[in-house]
Amino acid sequence: MSSILTNNGAMVALQTLNTINKNLLMTQNEISTGKSIASAKDNAAIWSISQVMQSDVDGFTVIRDSLALGQSTVAVGRSAAEQVTELLGEIKEQIVASQEDNMDRTTLQEDLASLRDQITAIVSAAQFNGQNLLSNTSTTTGEGEIEVLASLDRDANQNVTSTNITVAKQDLGQGDNTAGTTGTTAGGNVAIAAGASGVAVDFASTSIEAGQTFDLDLSGGVSAGADIALTSTVSYVAREGDTMADVTEQLAARANFEAALGGVEDLVSFSVNSADNSQILLQNDSANAITVATADANEDLNGANLDGVIGGGVELLGDIDVSTEAGAAAALSAIEVLTQTSIEAAAEFGTGERRLEIQDDFISKLTDSLVSGIGSLVDANMEVASARLQALQVQQQLGIQSLSIANQAPQNILSLFR
């Protein structure tokens, strides 16, 4: 049946052409945007996943900036620590030369003082963006280290947590420590025979906090036939991050320095009792008997009495004076500890810098993987899109022709009325 009111052929042709035009528009959008899923209406689930991944990529870009800043900060500290180590080597040369009786010790002391001042200048200038990793004298918890934002971790429940890389500050300053409030003597006087090994001395607490003072009382005297008067008490104020081993090493260095000034060499060495960290073991390396007493400062470890002023990590450097024979002998024992302190500082920074570098490389590769993953989800296949565009353009032309033919059908009805 023919009708001038309803043209079924034209309706079919028009619907087909509309579908072709819609597909053609989608293909053209893919080609122009480069994405097969450009918005949530294209595929809500895939678009949502891609947006979460893109937010992670944006976050990792910021993290790489943080890692770069951290690397630069640590690199400054490492370079300064290495330079200080070299200068301490030059100071050691002056100290070794001062052991000779026919050397001009006054001139050597002047040269040594100049090198010591240069170390002070280097440590003071070793800052990056106001952060100096070679100054660690604060008693405030958390200020003995820096934390560098290193990663964002997303779990299966979409909970995001940050991960930091911690680099401990070191100290190569020469400031003097000031003992804080002292507690009662722990263990009383301990007599140590010449060559004695493994004599335990208790400290009142195994806890170590910044500002806590540890004392070693040498006033008991040293005997080598006749008594040698050592009336001083050496103190060490702990800094954040110190262990009992650090405390005992520093006490030993100070005790031996004072003993050498009094004419006694290799007085004591310390080690930590692994069975009980509240004890230290004294090894009397000299040919002299010694009586010591220890006093643990700051009985209240809640912060009330942690009032010791922390000194510099190479504090003993300021006390070295090779202008006298006794001072030259004392300096020889002290310089080894000071050099080791600066070496350990440089090594610590080197380890931290390397870790930051590895993390930066990982974040770079992780970001590339995420970007690639996003692309596989939403990017258009341009080869397929190009072939589809050609096919749809042909279909569009045929659809137009088909619609044109269908629209001519009512004209044929006129022939029935001639």
pLDDT in tens, the chain (418 residues): 667 777 788 888 888 888 888 888 888 888 887 788 888 888 889 888 888 899 989 999 999 999 999 999 999 999 999 999 999 999 999 999 988 888 888 999 999 999 999 999 999 999 998 899 999 888 888 888 999 999 988 887 888 888 999 999 999 999 888 877 654 444 455 566 666 666 666 665 556 788 888 777 666 555 544 344 555 677 888 888 888 888 878 888 888 888 788 777 666 677 777 666 666 666 666 666 666 655 554 444 343 446 788 888 899 898 899 988 888 888 888 898 899 999 999 999 999 999 999 999 999 999 999 999 988 888 888 888 888 888 888 888 888 888 888 888 777 777 777 6
In whole angstroms, how large is the CA radius of gyration of the chain? Answer: 39
**∠ at Cα 105 (253, 256), nearest 5°?**
15
Strands (E), 14-157: 127-128, 131-132, 145-154
List, in sequence order, every residue forming a beta bridge with 216; answer none if it has no partner.
234, 294
Q: Which residues of 80-220 form beta strands (DSSP E)?
A: 127-128, 131-132, 145-154, 160-168, 182-192, 199-202, 213-217
First to last CA, the chain: 19
pTM score, two decimals? Answer: 0.78
What are the structural domain ranges in the chain? Answer: 35-176+312-379, 185-310
| Residues facing residue 297 across a β-bridge | 182
Rounded Cα distance between 377 and 184, Å, is 70
70: its two tokens = 């951290």
For residue 65, give the H/E element and its range: helix 44-97
Report the C-alpha gap between 367 and 163 in whole angstroms: 16
Cα–Cα distance measured from residue 8 to residue 75, given in angstroms and rounded to the nearest whole number: 80
Rounded Cα gap, residues 42 and 48, in angstroms = 11
CATH code linked to domain 35-176+312-379: 1.20.1330.10
Residues 314-371: tens digit of each pLDDT: 998 988 999 888 888 888 888 988 999 999 999 999 999 999 999 999 999 999 999 9
Q: Looking at residue 415, what is its pLDDT?
A: 76
Coil vs helix vs strand at 204: coil
Q: pLDDT, tens digit, for every residue of 109-155?
A: 999 999 999 999 999 999 998 899 999 888 888 888 999 999 988 88
Query: Are 289 and 192 within 8 A, CB to CB?
Result: yes
Per-position DSSP letters for 284-300, written without gaps between them: E-SSSEEEEEEEEE-S-
How far is residue 260's CA from residue 328's CA, in Å, rounded to a whole number? 9
Give the pair of three-digit tokens for residue 23: 């597909």
Residue reference for tokens 């010791």: 308
Compute the distance between CA of residue 383 and CA of residue 356 in angstroms, rounded to an integer. 42
CB burial of 308-333 (b: ≥16 within 10 Å; e: otherwise) equals bebbbbbbbbbbbbbeeeebbbbbbb
